[in-house]
Amino acid sequence: MDALSVLLRWLHIGAGILWIGHLYFFNFVNAQIGSVLDGDTKKKLVPELMPRALYWFRWGAAYTWITGLLLLLLVFYHGGLMFEPPIEWGTGAIVMVALTFLMFSVYDRLAKAIGKNIQLFAGVGFALIVAMTYLMIEWGGFSYRAYNIHIGTMFGTIMAANVWMRIWPSQKKIIAAVKEGTAPDAALVGLAGQRSRHNTYMSVPLVYTMINAHTVVPGANSVFYLLVVVLLGWALVAWMYKKAGTLKGF
């Protein structure tokens, strides 16, 4: 079990680097370059660059999620780290685990309804994170490590679903249009860009939960560390977007 745990962690981190590295390239580098290219250059560059980059991007996402799920099963469910004794599995815990993996459906509907209002969307999203964390602790009886990793699992599941169900299908049509020399559907461009930005915002607190799930923070107020890191992570990403817009080529 120890050897399997090490192998899965190694694969999980490697796949995560591949995924998140491409995510940051798309958002902080490629998006800026695309705005200064002329039509003929895009017609030559995009069909060659994007399918290659998106291959590693989407499969990095898939294997990060799969290995993360296997680690969750091995370390937390099989390894007994979900609860502090004498708490055990109950209805609340089962429901909260299910909600962790089903939250994409809630997120997707909210993104379609209010996603263009970034302040409102962020406020509603943060309220849901607070509610999920509270219910994991008070109803599910999750340990500190368990609610940290399950909030991260919720982020990761939403992000992976975005990649495979929203970003990649949109990008295939966008790339085909550029290759043909026609204007891509603005709705598809907007959808792919929106979900990619959402993934970027979720990625920073996601990495924190992966690290923090290996620690134990004492005290009744320890939950606030996670919530503060979510806000700090979002602020950091906002700064990175602003910085990316100021960088120029030679």
pLDDT single digits (tens) 1-33:
889 999 999 999 999 999 999 999 999 999 988
The reported pLDDT for the residue numbered 217 is 65
The reported pLDDT for the residue numbered 117 is 92
Radius of gyration of the chain (CA): 19
Domain residue spans of the chain: 2-246
Torsion, Cα of 135, 139, 145, 149 (10° steps):
-50
Give the CA distances from residue 193 to residues 29, 96, 190, 198, 232, in Å, rounded to whole numbers and listed in that order: 13, 30, 5, 9, 22
Q: Which of 102, 76, 91 shows the shortest CA–CA distance to 141?
A: 91
Indicate the SS3 state at residue 217: coil
- DSSP letter, residue 121: H
Q: Which of 10, 53, 56, 8 shows the shortest CA–CA distance to 31?
A: 53
Average pLDDT of span 241-246: 94
Query: What whole-number distance in Å separates Cα of residue 130 and Cα of residue 124?
Result: 10
pLDDT, tens only, 40-89: 898 999 999 999 999 999 999 999 999 999 999 999 999 988 998 899 99
